[in-house]
Structure formats: C-alpha cells, structure tokens
Homo-oligomer: A and B are copies of this chain.
Amino acid sequence: MDNSQLMKGILEGCVLSIIARGETYGYEILSVLEEAGFEDTGEGTLYPLLTRLEKNGLIVCRRAKSPLGPIRKYYSATEAGITGLEEFRSRYRLIAESAEKILYGQGGTQHD
C-alpha cells in the first residue's frame, strides 16, 4: 500500500488551489507541492492533471517565453475554477471529517 491511492483527487484540488493564488506554471507548481509536503509528485502526474483542469474549464493557459528555457505555459484559474475550488474544499472537508472521525474517534482516541 503506497501513497498513490491517498493522493488521488486530493492533488487535483491542491493544484487548482495553487493556481488560484496567482498565475503560475508547471515547474513552479511542482516546487510548491514539494515544499508543502507532496514530495514525490512527478511531471507525469502534474502535467496530465493540468491538462485535465484546463479541459474542464477550471483553468486557462497562456504561453510565454521563459527567461531560461523553452516556452512556459502559465496557468490561471477561471471563475469556474474558483467555484470548483470552493466545492472541492467543501467536499474535501466533509470527507476529511468523516475519515478523522473514524480514524481517530470522536473524542475517545487520544492521538499525540
């Protein structure tokens, strides 16, 4: 059992959240994810996810030259993206609360 199953779905909301903070691009998102603790996130995970978000109209992308390498794709959240993010947060919180209720107990299990 590895982390990948836990990651599913969560990552999508997190990436959307990062983009919603301000225009950014793939490589930078990767570093933000790593800083936050998603250390194993690879390009093969992120880029398809960005494509999916874009296809669903939650983010839009603009191509611009990088001062360093090849063209970057700068993403920013659409209004639908902002709305979707709120919905995601709600769903996430519900599930997280349900999970924690079961995992740690309502008040019975003392966890450090």
Contact = CB atoms under 8 A, between A and B. Distances in A.
Interface of A: 1, 3-10, 12-14, 17-18, 21, 32-33, 36-38, 56, 84, 88-89, 91-92, 94-99, 101-104, 111
B6 A36 contact: no
21 contacts: A1-B12, A1-B56, A5-B12, A6-B9, A6-B95, A7-B9, A8-B8, A10-B95, A10-B99, A14-B103, A17-B103, A21-B111, A33-B102, A36-B102, A37-B95, A37-B97, A37-B98, A38-B95, A38-B98, A92-B103, A96-B96
**7 closest Cβ contacts across the A-B interface?**
A5-B9, A37-B98, A6-B9, A8-B8, A14-B102, A36-B98, A5-B8
